[in-house]
């Protein structure tokens, strides 16, 4: 019989084997007791008895049950004839989720692609040797370590509700110009246009505002890659709403009224009729518009999609990018749009006039 220390190691090795070397999402993935004996001998140099492995599997199942980690079954490790497979754990990500995370990281600027390799090593059963060749093309930009540390400062400021001093500017080529110093109270991070944005209260603009909903007049959005520095402003007061409920409601309203990271003070209802030569033409144009809108788009009852007519309604912010998105609808061949909102039509017409002047079509 193996000594007691080796027996303790055995049960840990078995747990690690089922946890990290077997895939709960592959129903054909099984292992026999003979294979487990060979695995343990390779790791410890000792050949264990079958009945001790049966006993350890039962103990592991008891442990998983008592910790509440098993999903949809009384057992984590289950027998199928002479073989064993395992079920999913409650805190375990799925095969599809793991691969989606790696794809997102590999194609997203501001995140080091080395992280993909770490995740693949953490979940070896999810990624076969050919997976990388099938993955999306990775970005190759060099990650700015300073900016990563500033991003962590922002996260810490949000968590601890501490004021920050940021040096903020405008991008001109690879440089920042027109830089200004701002004291802000960080509220949340948002992701748009393949970049992080800080949503924060501008402390100087909030000086004369009450700590209720009117404080939202000082809410601003700052693009992280336009920051030249992020420091803790320890002597500055953190400005916040008077209640957590108001804070959450106002942040949601601010984000909902944003289009492509441009924020609007108010939300408006825009009704559109998209008419295409065919059903497919209308759907193509609608898809391009819907992908830019954060809020839910309602399909109106009088839509006649089989005739190429799609009528939609959306409550959204009246930001400049709304008119860019409306113009994009008009660029689809064989598609026309009708806007049922007089205020939006008036402003849209002014933008079209500016575009006509740029194209030297003064007659419009």
Question: What confidence tens digit (pLDDT) does each residue in 285-310 have?
Answer: 998 888 877 778 899 988 898 899 99
- Which pTM was predicted? 0.71
| Alpha-carbon span 283 to 113, nearest angstrom | 35
pLDDT at position 63: 92
Average pLDDT, the chain: 87
* Residue pair 80/26 in contact by the 8 Å Cβ criterion: no
**Region 179-201: what's the mean pLDDT?**
92
Q: Across the strands, what pairs with 309? A: 275, 304
pLDDT at position 81: 86
What number of helices (H) and strands (E) belong to the chain? Answer: 11, 14
Q: Tell me phi and psi for residue 88, to 5 degrees.
A: -75, 145
Q: Tell me phi and psi for residue 77, to 5 degrees.
A: -95, 120
Share of the chain residues as helix, strand and coil, in percent rounded to the nearest 5: 45, 25, 30
Among 60-64, 93-97, 161-165, 210-214, the minimum mean pLDDT is found in 93-97
| Alpha-carbon span 350 to 364, nearest angstrom | 11
Query: Is it the case that residue 66 has pLDDT exceeding 80?
Result: yes
Pick from 214, 280, 202, 269: nearest CA to 241: 214
* Residue pair 185/177 in contact by the 8 Å Cβ criterion: no
| Alpha-carbon span 17 to 10, nearest angstrom | 10
pLDDT per residue as tens digits for the range 21-39: 888 877 778 999 999 999 9
pLDDT at position 266: 77
Q: How many CB atoms lie within 10 A of CB 160?
A: 10
Query: Is it the case that residue 74 has pLDDT exceeding 90?
Result: no
pLDDT at position 1: 45
Percent of the chain with pLDDT over 90: 47
Which token pair is 118? 């770490």
pLDDT at position 167: 95
Question: What is the H or E stretch that residue 180 is in?
Answer: strand 175-192
Among 91-100, 132-141, 171-180, 240-249, the minimum mean pLDDT is found in 132-141
pLDDT at position 97: 86
Q: Across the strands, what pairs with 183? A: 165
* Residue pair 131/143 in contact by the 8 Å Cβ criterion: no
Percent of the chain with pLDDT over 70: 96
Give 113's DSSP letter. T
Q: Tell me phi and psi for residue 341, to 5 degrees.
A: -165, 110
Query: Is it the case that residue 363 has pLDDT exceeding 80?
Result: no
For 207, residues 6+ apart whose C-beta sits below 8 A from its C-beta are: none
| Alpha-carbon span 285 to 276, nearest angstrom | 9
User: Comparing 252 with 5, which gets the higher pLDDT?
Assistant: 252
Query: Is it the case that residue 3 has pLDDT exceeding 70?
Result: no
H-only helix segments in 67-199: 95-107, 114-122, 131-134, 145-160
pLDDT at position 113: 77
For 152, residues 6+ apart whose C-beta sits below 8 A from its C-beta are: none
For 306, residues 6+ apart whose C-beta sits below 8 A from its C-beta are: 279
């Amino acid at each position: 019989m193996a000594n007691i220390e080796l027996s303790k190691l055995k049960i840990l090795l078995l747990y690690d084997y089922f946890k990290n070397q077997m895939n709960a999402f592959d129903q054909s993935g099984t292992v026999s007791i003979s294979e487990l004996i060979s695995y343990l001998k390779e790791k410890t140099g000792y050949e264990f008895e079958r009945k001790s492995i049966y006993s350890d599997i039962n103990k592991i199942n008891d442990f998983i049950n008592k910790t509440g980690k098993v999903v949809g079954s009384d057992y984590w490790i289950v027998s199928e004839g002479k073989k064993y497979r395992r079920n999913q754990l409650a805190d375990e990500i799925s095969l599809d989720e793991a691969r989606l995370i790696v794809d997102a990281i590999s194609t997203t600027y501001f995140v080091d692609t080395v992280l993909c390799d770490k995740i693949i090593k953490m979940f070896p059963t999810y990624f076969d040797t050919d997976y990388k060749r099938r993955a999306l093309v990775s970005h190759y930009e060099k990650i700015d370590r300073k900016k990563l540390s500033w991003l962590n400062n922002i996260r810490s400021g949000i968590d601890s509700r501490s004021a920050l001093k940021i040096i903020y500017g405008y991008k001109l080529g690879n440089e920042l110009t027109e830089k200004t110093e701002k004291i802000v109270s960080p509220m949340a991070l948002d992701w748009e246009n393949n970049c992080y944005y800080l949503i924060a209260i501008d402390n100087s603009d909030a000086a004369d505002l009450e700590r209720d909903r009117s404080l939202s007049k000082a809410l601003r959005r700052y693009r992280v890659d336009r920051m030249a520095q992020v420091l803790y402003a320890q002597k500055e007061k953190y400005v916040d709403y008077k209640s957590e409920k108001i804070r959450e409601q106002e942040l949601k309203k601010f984000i909902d009224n944003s289009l492509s990271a441009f924020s609007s003070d108010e939300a408006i209802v825009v009704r559109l009729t998209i008419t295409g030569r065919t059903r497919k033409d209308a759907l193509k144009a609608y898809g391009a518009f819907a992908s830019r809108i954060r809020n839910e788009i309602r399909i109106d009852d009088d839509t006649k999609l089989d005739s190429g007519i799609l009528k939609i309604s959306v409550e959204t912010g009246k930001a400049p990018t709304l008119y860019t998105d409306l113009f994009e609808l008009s660029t689809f061949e064989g598609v026309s749009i009708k806007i049922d909102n007089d205020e939006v039509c008036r402003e849209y017409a002014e933008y079209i006039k500016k575009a006509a002047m740029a194209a030297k079509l003064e007659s419009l």
